[in-house]
Amino acid sequence: MAHILYLKHAEPETFRAAACFLEPKDYLNLRLTGRLASTYEAITLHWLTDNRNLARVDYHPTLLRWAGIPREKLPPLVPSTT
Protein backbone atom coordinates (compact mmCIF):
# COMPACT_ATOMS: atom_id res chain seq x y z
CA MET A 1 0.00 0.00 0.00
CA ALA A 2 2.87 2.39 0.72
CA HIS A 3 3.98 2.52 -2.90
CA ILE A 4 0.42 3.29 -4.04
CA LEU A 5 0.05 6.06 -1.46
CA TYR A 6 3.43 7.46 -2.47
CA LEU A 7 2.18 7.80 -6.04
CA LYS A 8 -1.07 9.31 -4.87
CA HIS A 9 0.67 12.07 -2.93
CA ALA A 10 3.98 12.59 -4.76
CA GLU A 11 2.91 11.79 -8.33
CA PRO A 12 -0.85 12.49 -8.48
CA GLU A 13 -0.95 12.57 -12.29
CA THR A 14 0.61 9.11 -12.44
CA PHE A 15 -1.83 7.88 -9.79
CA ARG A 16 -4.82 9.21 -11.74
CA ALA A 17 -3.53 7.81 -15.03
CA ALA A 18 -2.96 4.30 -13.67
CA ALA A 19 -5.69 1.88 -14.65
CA CYS A 20 -4.73 -0.63 -11.96
CA PHE A 21 -1.93 -1.16 -9.45
CA LEU A 22 -0.29 -4.58 -9.71
CA GLU A 23 2.50 -6.40 -7.96
CA PRO A 24 5.30 -7.53 -10.32
CA LYS A 25 4.13 -11.15 -10.40
CA ASP A 26 0.58 -10.03 -11.16
CA TYR A 27 1.85 -7.89 -14.05
CA LEU A 28 3.77 -10.88 -15.42
CA ASN A 29 0.67 -13.05 -15.10
CA LEU A 30 -1.34 -10.38 -16.95
CA ARG A 31 1.19 -10.31 -19.78
CA LEU A 32 1.33 -14.11 -20.01
CA THR A 33 -2.37 -14.89 -19.63
CA GLY A 34 -4.22 -11.68 -20.44
CA ARG A 35 -6.02 -11.98 -17.10
CA LEU A 36 -5.93 -9.06 -14.67
CA ALA A 37 -5.93 -10.50 -11.14
CA SER A 38 -4.05 -10.83 -7.88
CA THR A 39 -4.00 -13.74 -5.47
CA TYR A 40 -5.26 -13.61 -1.91
CA GLU A 41 -1.83 -14.10 -0.35
CA ALA A 42 -0.18 -11.45 -2.53
CA ILE A 43 -2.76 -8.76 -1.86
CA THR A 44 -2.88 -9.25 1.92
CA LEU A 45 0.48 -7.46 2.10
CA HIS A 46 -1.35 -4.29 1.03
CA TRP A 47 -3.34 -4.32 4.32
CA LEU A 48 -6.56 -3.50 2.47
CA THR A 49 -8.37 -6.84 2.72
CA ASP A 50 -10.72 -8.60 5.09
CA ASN A 51 -8.90 -11.85 5.87
CA ARG A 52 -11.32 -13.31 8.41
CA ASN A 53 -12.58 -15.88 5.89
CA LEU A 54 -9.47 -17.24 4.18
CA ALA A 55 -11.60 -19.04 1.62
CA ARG A 56 -12.95 -15.69 0.42
CA VAL A 57 -10.53 -12.81 0.93
CA ASP A 58 -11.84 -9.50 -0.40
CA TYR A 59 -11.08 -5.79 -0.19
CA HIS A 60 -12.48 -4.17 2.95
CA PRO A 61 -14.47 -1.00 2.09
CA THR A 62 -13.50 0.78 5.31
CA LEU A 63 -9.79 0.08 4.86
CA LEU A 64 -9.98 1.30 1.26
CA ARG A 65 -11.74 4.46 2.40
CA TRP A 66 -9.20 5.11 5.18
CA ALA A 67 -6.33 4.65 2.71
CA GLY A 68 -8.06 6.71 0.05
CA ILE A 69 -7.45 4.09 -2.62
CA PRO A 70 -10.33 3.53 -5.06
CA ARG A 71 -11.40 -0.11 -5.41
CA GLU A 72 -11.37 0.16 -9.20
CA LYS A 73 -7.60 0.81 -9.11
CA LEU A 74 -6.96 -2.62 -7.56
CA PRO A 75 -7.07 -5.98 -9.33
CA PRO A 76 -9.79 -8.61 -8.88
CA LEU A 77 -8.82 -11.25 -6.31
CA VAL A 78 -8.53 -14.97 -6.97
CA PRO A 79 -7.29 -17.98 -4.97
CA SER A 80 -3.69 -18.87 -5.76
CA THR A 81 -4.78 -22.12 -7.38
CA THR A 82 -6.83 -20.32 -10.05
For residues 30-52, average pLDDT: 85
DSSP string, 48-67: -EE-SSTTS-EE-HHHHHHH
Does the pLDDT value for residue 82 go beyond 60?
no
Q: What is the pLDDT of residue 36?
A: 94
Domain boundaries, the chain: 2-78
Confidence bin at 53 (pLDDT 50/70/90): confident
Predicted structure pTM score: 0.78
Answer whether residue 79 shows pLDDT above 90.
Answer: no
Q: Please list the residues that pair with 58 across neighbouring strands.
A: 50
Instruction: Give the C-alpha separation, 82 to 55, whole Å.
Output: 13
